[in-house]
Every structure is written in structure tokens, then in C-alpha cells.
Amino acid sequence: MRYLIAGNWKMNGSLASARTLAQGLADRRELTAKADIALCPPAPLLPAIAAAVAGSAVAFGGQDCHAAEKGAHTGDISAWLLKDLGCSFVIVGHSERRADHFETDAIVKAKASAALKAGLTPIVCVGETEAEREGGKTSAVISRQMAGSLPEASTAANTVIAYEPVWAIGTGKTATTDDIAAVHAQVRDLFAAARGNAGALRILYGGSVKGANAASILATAGVNGALVGGASLDLEDFARIILACP
Ligand code: 13P
């Protein structure tokens, strides 16, 4: 299975930085030889990214989509438009969307379902807060999010799961490799129980992944890639993460 390293730029970047970063990745063929790469910039930058990576294996995607194909939803973006722009992926259910936009598991599931119908691979995010981890609720939270956020049409081949402990996002803290392995095993078991087969399911880890810690995280059992925030805005650090894939 090829590793997937996806960069979530969140609300960062500019037209100039998007061009430089995407072109820099596309120019370095040793990076796309090593792993599948996807850039998820703010949506207005997608056409510039598409132009910069044309002819390379660097893929790109959205950070969110609406559940509907089109309509009166001011400010929202449909999965079908992302597909039209050349996207391969869309992140759904990121903890920042769950927290800032009150997205429930049911909303995340509807968005992931729309992504699949539009021909995109949803990257469905799950993860516990610090209070939930300290309260011993990690496993219950992951079970609830997996059961509620995955559409019936999800298969190991058309869906990616990202485990992002909320307390590790943007904090410099990372889960221990034992904790990562335990949650990834749980995610794979839950997926297999619900969908019959999870051997080929890619499960990414996210939360303060950077060049300096990527090798041990990516070598952890059950980890098939990373969803990278801050470090994906720095070409050299992002390249170090990609090259750290086993
Ligand atoms: P950081 O890598 O900045 O911690 O962000 C992780 C994340 O939320 C990626 O979706």
C-alpha cells in the first residue's frame, strides 16, 4: 500500500506561496516516487495549485464540502465543484469544522457521502479531545465517530480515515506511537466489522507531524500516511515528512 501524505493548509497561504510550494513539490520527482501526495489549500487557491502541479503526480483536494450538489448555500462549496476543479480528495469532519461549525457525525456522513457520489475520496477525520482522553473515553469517541461519520458506500478503496487527536493539533504534542497504534488498530477493526474488509484502508495520523518526528510516526503499525497541518506550509519540512515514509 502506498503511503498518503496530505497537507491541510487550513486558512493559510497566498496565491504566491501556493504556486511556489506546489511547483516545488511537483518538480521533485523523488517525492512523488516515495508516496502519494495531496495538497488541500483554501479553496480559492485550487486553480493555481492545479496549474502548478499539472503533469505531475501531486494531487489536491478541498478542506470541506457541502452535502448537496448545488443550491442556495451561501459560502459553501459542493463536492461536484471540487471534482470539476480537478480535486481527488476532500477532507470532511476535521475537528476544527466539528468545533467551529458545529458539525455532527450525521453532517460529516452526509458530506462524505456527497464526496463519494461526486467521485472524490473523502478523508474522514476522527479524534478525541484532551478531556475525553483523560476521562478514558478515547475508544468510545472513536467508535461513535466511526459509526456515525462513514457513509454506507464507503469502502477501503474509496475512503481514507485520518486519526487526529484534537489535543495534538497545532500544539507540538504528539500521541505516543503505542497510542497511535492502538487507535489505528481500533479504526481498522471497526471498519472491517462494518464493511467486511479493511486490509487496504489507508489510515492517516495527524497532529503536529513534522520532519523531525515523521519517521517514527510513519513506521508505527497501522499508520498509512499523515495529515499534516503547519508543517505542510513549509516545502522543506513537508518534503522531509514525505521522504520519511518507510
Ligand atoms: P498540525 O500539523 O498543524 O498540528 O495540524 C494537524 C491537522 O489538523 C491536520 O488536519
In a domain, 147, yes or no: yes
pTM, rounded to two decimals? 0.98
What average pLDDT does range 38-49 have in this prediction? 98
pLDDT grade for 135, boundaries at 50, 70 and 90: very high
What average pLDDT does range 25-44 have in this prediction? 97
Ligand 1 center to 241 CA (angstroms): 13
* Cell numbers describing residue 3: 503511503
Q: What is the pLDDT of residue 85?
A: 98
Number of compact structural domains in the chain: 1
What average pLDDT does range 18-35 have in this prediction? 97
**Residue 98 CB less than 6 A away from ligand 1:** no
Q: What is the pLDDT of residue 45?
A: 98
Q: How far is CA 192 from CA 94, 138, 186, 189, 222, in A?
A: 22, 19, 10, 5, 13
**Residue 228 CB less than 6 A away from ligand 1:** yes
Ligand 1 center to 210 CA (angstroms): 10
In a domain, 55, yes or no: no
Q: From the candidates 94, 128, 132, 184, which is the catalytic residue?
A: 94
What average pLDDT does range 152-178 have in this prediction? 96
Q: What atom of ligand 1 comes closest to residue 95's alpha carbon?
A: 8
Q: What atom of ligand 1 comes closest to residue 94's alpha carbon?
A: 10
CA–CA dist 210, 201 (Å, integer): 23
Q: For position 176, which CATH number holds?
A: 3.20.20.70
Which residue, among 97, 178, 187, 107, has the nearest Cα to 141 in the 3D structure?
A: 187
Which residue, among 190, 162, 119, 221, has the nearest Cα to 7 in the 3D structure?
A: 162
| Residue 94 designated active-site | yes
In a domain, 46, yes or no: no
In a domain, 153, yes or no: yes
- Domain with 124, as residue range(s), is 4-12+62-231
In a domain, 43, yes or no: no
Distance in Å from the first CA to the final CA of the chain: 11
Q: What is the pLDDT of residue 31?
A: 98
Q: What is the pLDDT of residue 138?
A: 98
Ligand 1 center to 14 CA (angstroms): 18
Higher per-residue confidence, 68 vs 174: 68
In a domain, 105, yes or no: yes
With beta carbons less than 8 A apart as the criterion, state whether 46 and 62 touch: yes
